[in-house]
Amino acid sequence: MFSVVVPIHNESEGIKNFLDKELFPELEKIKKYRHEVIFVDDGSTDNSLEIIQEYAKKQKNIRIIALSRNFGKEPALSAGLAEASGDAVITIDADGQQPPKLIPEFIKKWEDGADIVTGVRDHYTKHGLIQKMGSKLFYWLLRKMGNKYTVPGSTDFRLMDRAVVDEFNRLSEHNRITRGLIDWLGFKQEYIKYTYGARLAGKPSYGMKKLFKLAIDSFVSMSTTPLVVLGYLGLIITFLSGILGLFVIIQQYVLGDPLGLYWNGAVQMAIFITFLIGIVLISQAITALYISHIHAETQSRPLYIINKKESRNLKNG
Ligand code: UDP
Ligand code: MG
């Protein structure tokens, strides 16, 4: 049996089309396994919830988690994953941007041994230049910051083996980026390229502001590189102004200004202040590193993840 988890927030305009014409027909075609569909209504203020409740009346394998308010897509996904009971769990958006006709391919890769199959969009069809450049910049930065796991363009259109879902459910941190966490988990990951379509209806609820927050969250939760960069900047500033300071002392006071620069007190003061600013930057970065360690502790991620599928004869297996 496999589960399909669909997060829903105000999708009433397009959801019927998506379910009747895309998702359900595709699922019906898969005869080999039974399936359940778990809708997570993430505090919709339109009638999305009523619409899916209608479906659930007719179909026993539809389950609905109704969150008490809008918590955001990441918590909604987590709620769905916690409820899913399939041997594999597929997460898919309700807006039709992720084509359900690829689900058989996801399942095929899973049967062939992949623990995680992630949909990777090859390009945006209806996104502006700014968004395209923004996402390029995002992945470039993420890579530079040492997150080697995340493949550019990977989305939350994904299949996960039971073993992966079980481990995911144990993670307890709050500011979660599902993508990043799953990449962090490890396991055998495969990718399927697809063309990210336009929304069937409605507006994406991830506006620029939310995307920006998502990007910042990804950086902050996954890496300390920004801090380290700041620290290095401080080091460079302190080093350069230190050398300049020494130069002034020797040139002017020891050798008696043979170069004839006549650098006055203001210049010396400027050099000294720059030197101090460098030191402030360094100490800030050091403090921030301590905070990041505290942060890592409070996330209380498990120290390691065991691949129970591949391990043998474990005591607690
Ligand atoms: N969604 C959700 N909670 C939210 C925002 C979005 O459950 O607070 C759902 C939404 O209904 C859709 C999916 O998450 O099924 C992706 O949302 P959206 O299309 O807005 O994001 P994008 O396609 O831009 O990633
Ligand atoms: Mg979308």
The count of residues in the chain is 317
For position 298, what pLDDT does the model report?
Answer: 76
pLDDT digits (tens, 9 = 90+) for 236-270: 999 999 999 999 888 888 888 888 888 888 888 99
- Quick one: pLDDT at residue 221? 64
pLDDT band at 197 (very low <50, low <70, confident <90, very high): confident
Where are the domains positioned within the chain? 2-203, 225-299
Residue 158: per-residue pLDDT: 94
CA distances (Å), origin 25, targets 19, 158, 192:
8, 19, 21
Q: How far is the CA of 304 from the centre of ligand 2 (A)?
A: 33
Ligand 1 is surrounded, with C-beta below 6 A, by 7-9, 11, 42, 70, 72-73, 76, 93-95, 97, 204-206
Atom from ligand 1 closest to the CA of residue 77: 7
On the CB side of 11, CA atoms within 13 Å amount to 26
Per-residue pLDDT, averaged over 69-83, amounts to 89
Ligand 1, atom 13, lies closest to the CA of 93
**How many of the other CB atoms lie within 10 Å of CB of 110?**
20
What is the pTM for the complete model shown? Answer: 0.70
Ligand 1 closest atom vs CA 11: 11
Residue of 37, 127, 138, 205 best suited for mutating to test ligand 1, as the one with most atoms within 8 Å of CB: 205
Residue 297 has pLDDT above 70, yes or no: yes
CB 110 within 8 A of CB 150: no
Q: Whose CA is nearest to atom 18 of ligand 1?
A: 204
199 Cα: distance to centroid of ligand 2 (angstroms): 6
Cβ contacts of 177-181, under 8 Å, gap ≥ 24: 177/74, 177/214, 177/217, 177/218, 177/221, 177/222, 178/74, 178/77, 178/78, 178/91, 179/150, 179/154, 179/155, 179/218, 180/147, 180/149, 180/150, 180/218, 180/221, 180/222
Ligand located closest to 131 CA: 1
Query: 2-203 maps to which CATH number?
Result: 3.90.550.10
Mutate to test the pocket of ligand 1, among 9, 51, 210 (most ligand atoms within 8 A of CB): 9
Instruction: Output the pLDDT for position 145.
Output: 62
